[in-house]
Amino acid sequence: MKVFSNFDLTHYNSYKIKSACKKAYFPESEADIISIYKTEKNTKKIILGGGYNIIFSQSYYHETFIIFGDSYANIHKHGDNRIEAEAGINMKALSEYAYNQGLTGLEIFYDIPSSLGGAIVMNAGASGEEIKDVLISVRYLDLATLRVKEISCQEIEFDYRNSFFQRNINTVILRVLLELKHEKPELIREKMEGIKKARWEKQPKEYPNAGSVFKRPKGYYVGTMIENLGLKGLTIGGAQVSTKHAGFIVNINDASGQNILDLITIIKKKVFQEYGVSLEVEQRII
């Protein structure tokens, strides 16, 4: 396990916000993760996966970061059509692995830079598909007892961009079991590339961002509301409401987390004034 002091987090968040932390651990096993919590009992800890769907609100953190990256990303086929993977694996790598096994069900996550653990916490999804649709169970660490437990998909009680793990913050996802279906590889690849093409056409992939900023309220499209209010292109510091899709905020010039949060505050206020809708931020503010 690698440990760093005064660690630069700039390349560990998709907004590319400049930030750093006092200490960062890169665990390589479940034993490493348990060890961190035993030895750092009195230190506040922050779990970081792929750094997608988050906003760093500070330029420096005195908290200890536990970063689930390539060092905690083992994956293997479990039986005929199941995949078991560690929480740190990138969703793009996971979808590629499924494709190579001739298994379908993860194409929607191709070209999403989230970690598997982060996808489970947020019940990530798009176009009517969600990670819960292919989930069997999750192995996790209960921080209250430092015991490893397992929970089924049904017990997680998923909701739109919500899960048991958001409601129970004293948990750390360790490993995930998924069940997929067999399909012709060429059809899987066709869907993957089609999803990637559609995202690049509609989303501001040319600038650092963390995906959709707000959860979609029933009966409304967030991007349309923001655009109708004339907020498309609104800029504070280096952060801008995307001119390509108003549901995104992008880092166009060395934006700080506060720049992004200030834009969010303005958008929420104006949307409520005009539509009477209280927008809920989808991204995790740290």
Tell me if residue 161 is catalytic: yes
Encoding tokens for residue 275? Answer: 């539509």
Residue in 95, 137, 212, 242 annotated catalytic: 212
pLDDT at 126: 79
pLDDT at 163: 85
Q: Do residue 99 and residue 175 come from a single domain?
A: yes
pLDDT at 263: 99
CA dist list (Å): 102 to 125, 170, 176: 21, 36, 19
b or e along 92-104 (b: 16 or more beta carbons within 10 Å of the residue's beta carbon)? bbbbebbbebebb
214-217 long-range contacts, CB within 8 A, separation 24+: 214/247, 214/267, 214/279, 214/280, 214/281, 214/282, 215/160, 215/161, 215/279, 215/280, 215/281, 215/282, 217/277, 217/278, 217/279, 217/280
Segment 161-171 shows an average pLDDT of 86
pLDDT at 50: 86
Residue in 161, 175, 179, 256 annotated catalytic: 161
Tens of pLDDT, residues 88-101: 999 999 999 999 99
Distance of CA 233 to the CA centre of its chain: 25
Q: Do residue 83 and residue 170 come from a single domain?
A: yes
The model's pTM is 0.91
Residue 171 has pLDDT above 90, yes or no: yes
Q: Do residue 156 and residue 81 come from a single domain?
A: yes
Mean pLDDT lowest among 54-68, 149-163, 177-191, 241-255: 149-163
Segment 37-62 shows an average pLDDT of 93
Range of the domain at 244: 222-285
Q: Domain tally for the chain? A: 3
As a whole-number percent, the residues of the chain with pLDDT over 90 amount to: 85
Residue 162 has pLDDT above 80, yes or no: no
In a domain, 166, yes or no: yes
